[in-house]
Amino acid sequence: MNILLIGPPGSGKGTQGVRIAGALGLEHIAVGDVLRAEVAAGTPLSELLQRYLSRGELAPDELVLQLVVPRALAASARRGYVLDGFPRSVAQADEARKLAEPARARPDLVIFLGAPEDVLVERLLARAQVEGRTDDTEEVIRHRLRVFAQATEPLLTYYREQGLAREVDATRSPDEITDAILDLARDGRVMTYWFANPAQLLERTGKQLGTSDWVAIDQELINGFADITGDHQWIHIDVVRAASGPFGTPVAHGYLTLALAPVLLQQVVTVDGVNAVVNYGLNRVRFPAPVPVDSRVRGHVTLVSASRRGDAIEAVFGLTVEIDGTSRPACVAELVVLYS
């Protein structure tokens, strides 16, 4: 298994990298350690790397790729890797993907360790005091965190769109974080966003949350939906007549696509710390394109809004149901869910 760890300074990424690699028998590759080891070894690249590291600058993409990718490929050919600190940008991720795909060494799971800025600042100030880092003022730390956030948001979107990214709450204890990551690593489901409690939804409004697995739409599924709902229109169930109809083949009911919404949402979003989850309703629904029989569909989920409603949190999720190979979506809807 191949795992990427992404997290801001103070998120505990280094600690978790060592723990997860040890627990799963994978090789831990920390990019910072790789670069420092290269400098210490006095290789032909060491002088160039030293110039960047001594100025506190990021090494160029081509140098990092040259040093990191061969290690990752070799580790993947054995049992797999936990890669900590790479990639740092979509450009790095895209180039690494091209190199990794022929060797089947792409990441299987991307973990983002998320925590509020104030928590990270508190941790980093405490660490600076212990280690005597007088230059690490609150202003400097906050700037560093904001630069990190701006740089990594496109990267997280890149991996969410591939259905690989999961978020873990880095405010919990190290043991709880390790357990959460291991649960995700051992779970074959797509789960791109994890919330420790409903209140965390309030912090993620306006964010793209991820993409579900593909769901096959075959004639048996369409016929079953027709039987349950009593909607036996010929465009759905009469294969012979539908072949000469407006779509040239049977098509799924629009409401069949909508009925998949809870399953698609659950694959993308998990909210812990709840007593009950209630599908409260829909704000809007449209079916822009028909779904031909033997197609595949999947859901792209965005958190449109979240607000308090008494003792519950009301979340509005935007769902766009994609048809494989078609530009127009099968369904666009807003789902209202209550978490209490």
Helix (H, G, I), strand (E, B) or coil at 57: coil
**CATH topology identical between 2-188 and 215-339:** no
Say if CB 207 and CB 114 are below 8 A apart: no
Whether residue 269 is predicted with pLDDT greater than 70 in this model: the reply is yes
Whether residue 333 is predicted with pLDDT greater than 90 in this model: the reply is yes
Domain 215-339 belongs to what topology? Thiol Ester Dehydrase; Chain A (3.10.129)
Q: Tokens 């079916």 — which residue?
A: 287
How many Cα atoms occupy the beta-carbon half-sphere of 285 within 13 Å?
11
Beta-carbon neighbour count of residue 20 at 10 Å?
Answer: 23
Greater confidence (330 vs 52) lies with 330
Q: Per residue in 138-170, pLDDT tens?
A: 888 898 888 888 878 888 888 887 878 888 999
Q: What are phi and psi of 15, to 5 degrees?
A: -60, -45
Residue 183's identity, in one-letter code, is D
Predicted TM-score (pTM) of this structure: 0.55
Q: Tokens 């983002």 — which residue?
A: 112
As its CATH architecture, domain 2-188 has: 3-Layer(aba) Sandwich (3.40)
Greater confidence (299 vs 59) lies with 299
Q: What are phi and psi of 262, to 5 degrees?
A: -60, -40
Beta-carbon neighbour count of residue 22 at 10 Å?
Answer: 12
Which tokens sit at 248? Answer: 């040239």
Say if CB 211 and CB 298 are below 8 A apart: yes
Check residue 189 and give its pLDDT: 44
- Which is it for strands 277-286 and 331-339: parallel, antiparallel or unpaired? antiparallel
Greater confidence (254 vs 52) lies with 254
Least confident of 50-59, 61-70, 90-99: 50-59
Question: Alpha-carbon distance 300 to 313, whole Å?
Answer: 22
Say if CB 114 and CB 168 are below 8 A apart: yes
Whether residue 32 is predicted with pLDDT greater than 90 in this model: the reply is no
| Burial class, 54, CB count within 10 angstroms (exposed 0-12 / middle 13-18 / buried 19+) | exposed
Greater confidence (47 vs 330) lies with 330
Give the burial string for 297-311 (b: 16+ CB within 10 Å, else e).
Answer: bbbbbbbbbbeeeee
Least confident of 96-100, 198-202, 206-210, 328-332: 206-210
Least confident of 1-5, 229-233, 276-280, 312-316: 1-5
Closest listed residue to residue 286, CA positions, set 319, 247, 327, 249: 319
Domain limits of the chain? Answer: 2-188, 215-339
Q: Per residue in 180-237, pLDDT tens?
A: 898 888 664 444 566 778 998 998 788 777 788 889 999 999 999 999 999 999 999 9
